[in-house]
Amino acid sequence: MKNLEVLPLISGVCCILGGLGVVLHTNPINKIIMLALLEIGMIGLIVSSYYLDIAIISSICEPICTIILLLGYMKYLTTIKKKKKFGRDLPVLSK
């Protein structure tokens, strides 16, 4: 443990706490914030082994993944709300 620098130590703490946080939280937006923390840890570990080009590619792909998850969450939420509203109305209409 004595020949490690500061960046790998911080990134390791980010990875472990982010992984526990994604599993333990139950609201999807909280889970996505914790996923951002986990990806911060992964980028730090990639940089600390000097793969700088892969770090650039990875940090460009991270907001794309986040935006896809957020758009999907909004669509999913509106679908569930619409299903609940129809579920109350539809038997009345079909009678």
Of 17-36, binders to another protein (CB under 8 A) are 17, 19-24, 26-33, 35-36
The number of helices, as runs of H, and strands, as runs of E, in the chain is: 3, 0
Q: How far is the CB of 84 from another protein (least distance, A)?
A: 9
Q: How far is the CB of 91 from another protein (least distance, A)?
A: 14
Q: How far is the CB of 95 from another protein (least distance, A)?
A: 18
Detail the DSSP E strand segments found in 1-95.
none
∠ Cα 83 84 85 (to 5°): 90
- Told to check if 50 binds another protein by CB under 8 A, we report yes
Binding to another protein (CB under 8 A): which residues in 66-95?
A: 66-70, 72-83, 86-87
Helix axes 52-94, 28-48, angle to 10 degrees: 170
